[in-house]
Amino acid sequence: KQKNGIIALNVMNDNTSSEMQQAQSKRNLERTVKIAAAADVMIHTVARFDLNVASGIIHTLKEYNASEIIIGLHRKAAITDSFFGMMTENLLKGSYRQIMIIKHLIPPNTLRRIVVAVPPKAEYEAGFFKWVERLCRMGTRLGCYMHFFTHPDTWRYLQGYIYKKHKTIRFGYTELENWDDLLLLTGHVNYDQLLVIISARSGFISYQSSFERLPSQISKYFANNSLMLLYPDQYGDPQEMSSFSEPRHYNKSRHYENMLNRIYKWFKKN
């Protein structure tokens, strides 16, 4: 996604793509342009060859200085194969940008509610306000009620931001103090609602070991729900942050210090 529109990307394998696949890629991008035009959305199409899909996405992200990655899954795609395969793993390791993986079972304009599961300490991640803003805009555009399941400490930041920036949104909150209680959401998400799960990259402050069970949990309990899995922005280039002493993350005290300073400046400004 760019400031002046969306990039629709089709990546073909440099070694195995055929003329038929290239023709199909062209047709897919042309269809995407028509759909975007009907919704009055500016879109720029890119077809490229690369060693693999993840590499093609990361290179395009850097070339166009895109703000985030949006991956749409086919409604019949297997969750465990698509969400958590090698491609997603490589994207998370190769980019610090926000990644949204979306699977819609019904048209977005027919959604009645957005249910958001947020892990403890999510407010300390660099991209916290960014994803909150994205979801609030979505809720406003669709006219959906938003309900957050999260820790009380995290809720205070969510509530404060929404009251300041999106006063017209209808929203509510249920305490989810333990992320292991995620399965309790099965009774709160219906077919005509969107479930948004906020995750995190391994090694960052809101990451939890229970995230490793997300593939099986989603496949088993939320297979019949429209779903968005969101990895927020992180500070720094993952390639530069890898070291023996500090593997791909800041230590906890630096996370708290940086985030608290950022939150203080934001509230002071507003």
Q: What is the C-alpha separation between 85 and 93, in angstroms, rounded?
A: 13
Q: For residue range 69-88, what is the model confidence (pLDDT) as tens digits?
A: 998 876 666 555 555 567 78
CA angle 235, 176, 77 (to 5 degrees): 70
If one compares 129 and 213, the residue with the highest pLDDT of the two is: 129
129 and 161 in contact (C-beta within 8 Å)?
yes
Of the candidate ranges 19-23, 90-94, 233-237, 249-253, the one whose mean pLDDT is the lowest: 249-253
Averaged pLDDT for residues 12-40: 81
Q: For residue range 146-197, what is the model confidence (pLDDT) as tens digits?
A: 999 999 999 999 999 999 999 999 999 999 877 776 778 888 899 999 999 9
b/e 236-250 (16+ beta carbons within 10 angstroms → b): eebeebeeeeeebbb
Which two three-digit tokens encode residue 151? 């820790």
Of the candidate ranges 97-111, 117-131, 205-219, 236-250, the one whose mean pLDDT is the lowest: 236-250
Averaged pLDDT for residues 89-101: 90
Q: What is the 3-state secondary structure (H, E, C) of the chain?
A: CECCEEEEEEEEECCCCCHHHHHHHHHHHHHHHHHHHHCCCCEEEEEEEECCHHHHHHHHHHHCCCCEEEEECCCCCCHHHHHCCHHHHHHHHHCCCEEEEEECCCCHHHCCEEEEECCCCHHHCCCHHHHHHHHHHHHHHHCCEEEEEECHHHHHHHHHHHHHHCCCCCEEEEECCCHHHHHHHHHCCCCCEEEEEECCCCCCCCCCHHHHHHHHHHHHHCCCCEEEEEECCCCCCHHHHCCCCCCCCCCHHHHHHHHHHHHHHHHHHC
Cut 0.85: pTM above it:
no
pLDDT at 267 over 90: no
Averaged pLDDT for residues 22-41: 84
Instruction: Kindly report the average pLDDT of the chain as a whole number.
Output: 82
Q: For residue range 112-144, what is the model confidence (pLDDT) as tens digits?
A: 999 999 999 999 999 999 999 999 999 999 999
